[in-house]
Amino acid sequence: MGKYLVNLKINNIPVSVEEGTTILDAAKNLNFKIPTLCYHSDLSIAGNCRVCVVEVKGQRVLSAACATPVSEGMDVFTNSEKVRASRKNVVELLLSEHNADCTKCYKNGNCELQEMTSEYSVGNHIYLDLVKDKDKILDISSPSIVKDDSKCIRCQRCVRTCEELQAVSALAVVNKGDHQKISTFLNKPMHEVVCTNCGQCVNRCPTGALVEKNYIDEVWNAIYDPDKFVVVQTAPAVRAALGEGLGVELGQRVTGKMVAALKKLGFNKVLDTDFTADLTIMEEGTELLTRLKKALVDKESVALPMFTSCSPGWIKFVEHIFPEYLANLSTCKSPQQMFGALAKTYYADKINIKPEKMVSVSVMPCTAKKYECDRPEMRSSGYKDVDYVITTRELARMIKQAGIEFNKLESERYDSILGESTGAAVIFGATGGVMEAALRTAYEIVTGREVPFTNLDIKPVRGMEGIKEAAIKIKDTVPAWSFLEGVELKIAIASGLANAKKLVEAIRDGKATYHFVEIMACPGGCIGGGGQPIPTSAEIRKKRIEAIYEEDTNMTLRKSHDNPEVQEVYKEFLGSPLGHKSHDLLHTHYKPRKRY
């Protein structure tokens, strides 16, 4: 059934839009901006903040533009006296309940509420102050996320994010009336509840009520400490988004400028997580082939499909929700933690620095990695493998703090060794990227030929859909892998934990079978990570993904096994993939956790 057009007028201007369109979207068509707070393009409609109210002629009450579909003959006014008076009152009400200490607030300058107040509530605070226990309600228990209820406007974006995108429901609305608030299960601290630390709620919170736990001061202190040698690694997705907070156009890769900025900030070595992304492919690809061999040749019982393990939010999700699938997770550490383990062993040795003097910092698009680096398993070097994780947002802030004019920086190159990488590593940042990288390598190992796709671009695994699947027939294998001759390798990819949950349930219920499944906790993969610049939307994520693939296309080396530094590390130190040293440093184990 085709949609038919509805004719209406907005501020006396006629417009025709498809039936089902909201007043908000219809007004956008005419370039009338209606302010919103609880609305978010990634989420279902709540209609609870009421700042988007508009007047519809003939209606007794105002209508929430975000929640009201257009109807034939509607006469809408977005800026009438009633509308503006109501909006102003609503914003002032929100402020009266809000701990509005903007100058001390982490969100100062990037806050939707603050923006709204400069438009609608100028100076005169008419209502009584209703903020209760300003300090008591700060929850700093989590290593990733800080929750400050005194800054919460109850828009429920976080609740919808956690439920609709992530299927975790760590956050919920409790109580009614003046006691209504956003709470965790039994009001426990964030660190003790089923939360994956993915930070998606942080990405969508319009205020300072949910923010990342920041380690900016710790990193500065390390840099300033003359006794410390500070190395920094940067994840693939950071370069595709860092510019957004620094005046660079959306979708521009800023790899070289970022390296230059990091050197200016005073890091002793600027290295690349992409290097260990390539390493991950060597280890994980080999692990997959080994599992397949066990299943097909040795007829051993082995957990298949194998799930990727580079997304710590996903790891914690499995530990909580699907503990029966722990064996299916690849034992590979995430690239961040592989890097950390190598940094304080192989690398420290190589550059002649005592590991206890080394401070290892990583810049991630991710808040879950803050939690990951704290896990007790992540001390294979004998020290904390990664000392501090800062997000893309925190790095942008440090660059501003240092007074660096980012836009004017000349590109610089990563240091070596552990700085070289391939296009396969870069695409780790986008959903489907790990799969594509793994296939480029595994297919070549097995057949001796490159993957049969034009320009190595494995198109079926690309794109923004939440769940993707594909099958690749393996033909003309080299002798060592002849048992895979004719096998159709079945793969699936999901991003966003709600999609991941659907996929695992389909596997569990026997509705789908795969050999290899890539999962990223965040919608769109790491480019949509919980530590990326705010705001986020499908459009923004798409632009970042394009930047990622563009970087891949522009690289000379595009297959992980071609990375010369990776080859060198195996030769000098690790031996072979899945070898003894790898096992000690690059692989890990998981543990079941409570479901509530």
Query: Can you tell me the distance from the alpha carbon of 25 to that of 12, in angstroms, rounded to the nearest whole number?
Result: 16
Binds 180: which of other proteins, ligand FES, ligand SF4, none (CB < 5-8 Å by kind): other proteins
Q: Which is nearer to other proteins, 122 or 301 (CB)?
A: 122
Q: Which is nearer to ligand FES, 66 or 368 (CB)?
A: 66
Provide φ and ψ at 233, rounded to 5°. Answer: -115, 150
The minimum distance between CB 496 and ligand SF4, in angstroms, equals: 10
Q: Give yes or no: 330 in active site.
A: yes
Binds 533: which of ligand SF4, other proteins, ligand FES, none (CB < 5-8 Å by kind): none
Query: Can you tell me the distance from the alpha carbon of 354 to that of 374, in angstroms, rounded to the nearest whole number?
Result: 21
Binds 471: which of ligand SF4, ligand FES, other proteins, none (CB < 5-8 Å by kind): none
With CB under 8 A as the contact rule, which of the stretches 94-102, 424-432, 436-444, 552-560 interacts with other proteins?
Answer: 94-102
Burial of 102 (0-12, 13-18, 19+ CB in 10 A): middle
In angstroms, what CA-CA distances link 253 with 44, 258, 415, 549, 565?
31, 9, 19, 10, 23
Asked if residue 277 binds other proteins (CB under 8 A), the reply is no
In angstroms, what CA-CA distances link 567 with 279, 333, 336, 563?
9, 19, 19, 6
Encode 418-437 in three state secondary structure: CCCCCHHHHHHHCCCHHHHH
Provide φ and ψ at 53, rounded to 5°. Answer: -60, 140
Asked if residue 147 binds ligand FES (CB under 6 A), the reply is no
Asked if residue 62 binds other proteins (CB under 8 A), the reply is yes
The minimum distance between CB 53 and ligand FES, in angstroms, equals: 7
Q: Which is nearer to ligand SF4, 423 or 496 (CB)?
A: 496
Binds 422: which of ligand FES, other proteins, ligand SF4, none (CB < 5-8 Å by kind): none
Binds 178: which of ligand FES, other proteins, ligand SF4, none (CB < 5-8 Å by kind): other proteins
Q: Which is nearer to other proteins, 22 or 499 (CB)?
A: 22
Which listed residue (155, 366, 373, 526) is catalytic?
Answer: 526
Beta bridge partners of residue 490, listed in sequence order = 471
Cβ proximity of 491 and 485 under 8 Å: no
Q: Which is nearer to ligand SF4, 154 or 344 (CB)?
A: 154
Helix (H, G, I), strand (E, B) or coil at 202: helix
How many other C-beta atoms lie within 10 A of the C-beta of residue 54?
Answer: 27
**CB under 8 Å to 173, separation ≥6 — which residues?**
154, 156, 159, 180, 181, 182, 183
Q: Which is nearer to other proteins, 18 or 349 (CB)?
A: 18
Q: Where are the beta strands (DSSP E) in 387-508?
A: 388-391, 467-473, 488-495
Place of tokens 């002798």: 479
Q: Which is nearer to other proteins, 15 or 153 (CB)?
A: 153
Place of tokens 């072979």: 576
Which helix H or strand E contains 6, and what residues bound it? strand 5-10
Query: Can you tell me the distance from the alpha carbon of 571 to that of 559, in angstroms, rounded to the nearest whole number?
Result: 18
Helix (H, G, I), strand (E, B) or coil at 321: helix
The minimum distance between CB 128 and ligand SF4, in angstroms, equals: 18
The minimum distance between CB 106 and other proteins, in angstroms, equals: 23
Query: Can you tell me the distance from the alpha carbon of 564 to that of 416, in angstroms, rounded to the nearest whole number?
Result: 11
Q: Give yes or no: 372 in active site.
A: yes
Q: Give yes or no: 284 in active site.
A: yes
CA dihedral 145, 147, 151, 154 (to 10 degrees): 100
Binds 161: which of ligand FES, ligand SF4, other proteins, none (CB < 5-8 Å by kind): ligand SF4
The minimum distance between CB 21 and other proteins, in angstroms, equals: 13
Q: Which is nearer to ligand SF4, 31 or 118 (CB)?
A: 118
Binds 52: which of ligand FES, other proteins, ligand SF4, none (CB < 5-8 Å by kind): ligand FES
Which listed residue (369, 370, 501, 559) is catalytic?
Answer: 369
The minimum distance between CB 596 and ligand FES, in angstroms, equals: 31
Which listed residue (63, 330, 380, 421) is catalytic?
Answer: 330
DSSP letters, 125-148, are: --SPP----TTTTEE--SSSEEEE
Q: Which is nearer to ligand FES, 119 or 476 (CB)?
A: 119
DSSP state of 250: T
Would you give the binding string for ligand FES spanning residues 19-58, x where CB under 6 A is met?
Answer: -----------------xxxx-------xxxxxx------
The minimum distance between CB 62 and ligand FES, in angstroms, equals: 10
Q: Give yes or no: 310 in active site.
A: yes
The minimum distance between CB 122 and ligand SF4, in angstroms, equals: 14
Query: Can you tell me the distance from the alpha carbon of 2 to that of 433, in angstroms, rounded to the nearest whole number?
Result: 36
Place of tokens 């940067």: 234
In angstroms, what CA-CA distances link 309 with 203, 318, 337?
23, 10, 11
Q: Give yes or no: 526 in active site.
A: yes
Question: How many residues does the structure list for the chain?
Answer: 596
Considering only 176, 299, 408, 595, the residue that binds other proteins (CB under 8 A) is 176
Footprint of ligand SF4 on this chain (CB under 6 A)? 98, 100-102, 105, 107-108, 111, 113-114, 145, 151-158, 161-162, 166, 168, 170-171, 182, 195-201, 205-210
Q: Which is nearer to ligand FES, 47 or 355 (CB)?
A: 47
**CB under 8 Å to 465, separation ≥6 — which residues?**
none
CA dihedral 317, 319, 322, 327 (to 10 degrees): 120
Considering only 64, 100, 210, 547, the residue that binds ligand FES (CB under 6 A) is 64
Binds 108: which of other proteins, ligand SF4, ligand FES, none (CB < 5-8 Å by kind): ligand SF4
Query: Can you tell me the distance from the alpha carbon of 186 to that of 292, in angstroms, rounded to the nearest whole number?
Result: 44
The minimum distance between CB 170 and ligand SF4, in angstroms, equals: 4
- The alpha carbon of 161 is separated from its chain's Cα centroid by a whole number of angstroms, namely 13
Q: What share of the chain is helix, strand, coil (3-state, %, to 5)?
A: 45, 15, 45
Asked if residue 46 binds other proteins (CB under 8 A), the reply is yes
Binds 342: which of ligand SF4, ligand FES, other proteins, none (CB < 5-8 Å by kind): none
Q: Which is nearer to other proteins, 39 or 307 (CB)?
A: 39
Helix (H, G, I), strand (E, B) or coil at 159: helix
Site of interaction with ligand FES (CB under 6 A): 36-39, 47-52, 64, 66-67
Site of interaction with other proteins (CB under 8 A): 45-51, 53, 60-62, 64, 67-69, 82, 85-86, 89-90, 93-94, 96-97, 126-128, 130, 153-154, 156, 173, 175-180
Q: Which residues are catalytic?
A: 284, 287, 310, 330, 369, 372, 377, 526
